[in-house]
Structure 1
Amino acid sequence: MSPFKRRLSCPRAADEKSDSEPSELPREVIQRLRNVIFGFDFFVSKVENYQANGVIFKGNLRGDPSVAYDRIAARLKGEMGKEYVLYLLEDQEEQPVAVILPKDAAEQPLPATQEALLSAAFGLATLVTLLNANGLLLLQPDQLDLSPGSILSALPGTVLFFLLLAAHEAGHRVAARQKGVELGTPLFVPAGLGFLGSFGAITSFRSTVPDRETLLHVAAYGPAFGAAASFGMLLVGLGLSAAGIGDGEMQPAAFQDSLLVGVLGQLFVGSKLAAGATVSLNPLLAAGWAGLLANALNCIPVGVLDGGRIAHGLWGRRNAGRVNIISLFLLGVTGIFDTLALFWVLFVIFLQRGPISPQREELSQPESQPDRVLGICLLGLSLLVLLPYPGAIVPETGF
C-alpha cells in the first residue's frame, strides 16, 4: 500500500497534530486556500491534516462536481503553481471532501528498469505455464518431452492464447490513449491450473486518473477486446470441432463447467453430447475457452481487477466496496469446492487487493451510456462463463 493510500485512510485533525510533525502547508497558506481557492464552489466548514503532507477541506459542494473541480483546480494552479494536486472525493459519511496534496505525495510508478525486469520475469514464467498447459509439461520433469514434435504441438495453443492476452492489453491501451492517461508495463500472471496457462496481466496506471468515467472506460475496454476475440475464436473452434477437425478429444462432461460454453456446445455439437460421444478438441476451441475464462475472472468485481475498477467507475468507491466484500465472500465459499476459485481469492488478496488509487474527481457519475452498458455487461460475463451449466449434458440412461 502506498503512502498516499495510507494518508487517505487515516486523516488527522489539525489541532491533534504533534509539534514534532511540521505541516507541509503553513497556517496562513491553509487560510488562504480556504478563503480564496474554494470560494463559491465549495463552502469549507472544517479543515484537517493528512499527517505531514496535505490538507483535507470538508464542507458543502455547490453545483456540478466536475465543473466545481475545474474551477477550484484552476484557482489552485494560479495561486500555488503545479506543486500541489487537488482531489475531490467522498468521505465515510458520503459527504464531499476536497484534498490538497503535494504533487510527489501521489503514488509513484516503479522505476523503468525495475518495471522492465519484473515484466520480463513474469513474462518468462507465463510462457512456461502456457507451454505446459498446451502439452509440453515443463512443470512435470518426469514427463518432459522436448522433442521437435512435442514442441511444435504445444506452440499453436500457446500462440493463440497469447494473442488473446495481447488483445485484452490492446483494449486497455486504446482506451488509455483516448482518455489521455498513461499505463504501466503489463505484468503477465502465470497459472498452472488445467488448460489455463495465464490469468491475464496486472496493468497499473502511471498517471493519475482524472475521474470515474475515465477509470470505467479504460478498465472496460481490456476485457471487452479480450472477450470479443476469445468469443470469436471459441465459435470458430466449435465449428471446426463439430466438423471433426481437431487433434485432441474432449469429454461431454467438460461442457458442464461453463454455462455459456455449455449452451454453445449444445448448439454446435448437441447430437454428440446427447450420445455421450467425445468431441474433437480444436486448438481454437481450447484457446477461445481459456481466453473467455481469463477475461471472466478479471471481470469479477473485487480488488483492483478490471471488474473492481468497473464497479468503482459505475457506482463509486463506497458502493463498489460493498460489492467487493460480497464477491470475495462468495469466492471464498466457492473456493471450498473449487481449486480455481480458491487460487483466485489468494491471488486477489496478495496481489490485487487494492484499494483503487483515487481519481482526482470521484463525485461525478460517468456520462457515457455506452461505457455504462458495457461495464454492466462485462460484470455479467463473469457469471455466464464461470457458473456451471445446469442439469446434465449427457442424459442419464437406465432400464
Structure 2
Amino acid sequence: MRVTYKYKLYNSKKNKHLHQTITLAGRAYNHGIALHRRYYRLYDKHLNQYALMKHFTKLKKRPHYAWLNDIPSQALQEIAQRIDRGYRLFFRNLKAGIKTAPPLFKKTRKYKSYTLKQAGWKLLGDSRAQIGKRVYKMCRDRTLVGDVKTVTIKRDALYDLYLCFSVEVDDPKVRPTSGKMAGFDFGLKSFLTVHDGFESYEIASPELFKQSLKSVKALSRCLSRKAEGSNNRRKARARLARAHRAIANKRLGWFFKLSHDLTERYDYLFFETLNLKGMQRLWGRKVSDLAFGMFLNVLQYVANKKGKVVALIDPFFPSSRLCPHCGCINEHLELSDRRWRCPHCHEIIERDVAAALNILREGASSLGGGDVRPVLGQSLLMPESHAL
C-alpha cells in the first residue's frame, strides 16, 4: 500500500534553486506538449514516452537547450511519463465518448512540482534532506515509516515548498471485527445521510468556503484593483491565496475527523458513485465547497490504515427511486421531490433516508453479506440532524 508523507521546507535562500528547477520543469513540460501536438498533426499518432525521453537526452547536447541539464534526469523522465499518462487518458475518454481536453500548456510560474525516484535525493538526520548537492531543512512533524519510492518537490500558490515522500508500507493487520455496516447518501442540504439498517441520521457540512465567502470576495476585489506586475498586486495575490489555503486546510481537517469517527463506528461503509463533473455543471461552487471526491479519498486512506472496507456501488443503481418497503421503482421521481409516496404500497418515503438504506442493502449484497432489512414499523421520514 502506498502512502504519502508531506513535510514543509523552512524558508531559506537555497530554496530559490528548487524554484528555478520547478520552473524549468514546467518549460520542459510545455516543450513536450508542443512535440506531441506536432507529431500527432504530422503522423496522426501518439508519441511514445520513451521516444520523448530519448529526444530530451539529445536536446541536452544542443547549446540552445542547455537549460535541460539543470533538471535532474529522472525528473525529465517523469515529465515524459506525465505527458504520456495525460494523452492516454484523453484518448481513452475520447474512445468512450467522454468530452475532455488533451493535456494543455501550463504557465511556468504556476507549474507545481517535479519528481525524483531512486537518485537525486537523500534523507539525513535532524530533519534534513539532500536534494541534488544542497541540504534543506524541513518541518518533520511525524516519523516517516516505510520504503521510500519517490520524492516530489512541490510548491503551492504562496510559493511555499514541500517534500512529499511516497512510501510503500505493509497492509494493515487490523481487520473488521464487529461487522457493523452502513450506507451513506451524499446530499446538498446535508453532507451525508447515514443508515445502518436500524436507525438513520444526518451529518451537516460546515460549508467552510461559504462561511469565508465575504472575506474572499473582499480580497478578490482588492486584487482586481491592483496594477498588473506591481508589488501591491503580488502582495494582494498572496493574501488571497493564503485565505484559500486556510479554507482548504480546515476542510481537510474536518474530513479526517469525520473519517476517523465513521471508521470507528462501522467496519463496512457503502457509498454511491457520483458524477462529480455533472454535479459541478449544475450546482458549481456548492459542489466544490462540499468536495465529495476529496472526502472519499481521505476516507479510503483512513479506512485502509484501520483495515476497514469502503465500497462504491454501481452508479446506475436507482438508490433514490427505489422504494425500500416493496422494491417498486418510481420512474417519475424528479430531483426536486425530497419526499414521495410509493405508487405501489403508498408509503411516504424520505428520499435521502431511503437512498442510504438502499445503498446499504446493495453494498451488503455485493459483499455477500445478504440483505439488510429495516426494523418493522420503522419510519423513513426526516431524521434529526447529527453534528460531529
> For the superposition of Structure 1 and Structure 2, which TM-score range results when normalised by the shorter chain?
under 0.3
Larger fraction in strand? 2
TM-score (norm 1): 0.26
Larger fraction in helix? 1
TM-score (norm 2): 0.26
